[in-house]
Homo-oligomer: A and B are copies of this chain.
Amino acid sequence: MLSVSIVGGSGYVGGELLRLLLGHPHVEVRQVTSERLAGQYVYSTHPNLRGRTDLRYSPQSSLEPCDVLILALPHGSAAKNIEHYAGLGQAIIDCSADFRLREPETYSRWYGEKHPAPHWLERFVYGLPELYREQIRTTRYVSGVGCNATAINLALLPLVKAGLIDQTKPVVAEVKVGSSEAGAVANDGSHHAERAGVVRSFAPVGHRHTAEIMQAHGLENVHISITSVEMVRGALATCHVFTKGAVNERDLWRAYRAAAAEQPFLRIVHDRSGLHRHPEPKILAGSNYADIGWALDENTGRVVALCALDNLMKGAAGAAIQCLNLMHGFEETVGLEFSGLHPV
Contact = CB atoms under 8 A, between A and B. Distances in A.
Interface in A175-227: 176, 178-180, 182, 184-201, 204-206, 223, 225, 227
Most B-side CB within 10 Å, residue of A172, A271, A304:
A172
A254 to B, nearest CB: 19
Nearest to A303: B205
Interface stretch (A93-101, A228-236, A245-253): A228-236
A244 interface: no
B49 A339 contact: yes
Given A201-B295, A286-B286, A308-B199, A344 B232 contact: yes
Interface string A316-344: 00000000000000000000011111111
A198 B280 contact: yes
Contact of A227 (B179, B194, B236, B287): B236
A238 B179 contact: no
A47 B188 CA distance: 14
11 contacts: A12-B343, A48-B342, A51-B267, A51-B289, A174-B238, A178-B193, A197-B282, A198-B282, A199-B234, A204-B238, A286-B286
Closest 5 CB pairs of A and B: A204-B295, A230-B230, A205-B297, A193-B343, A186-B191
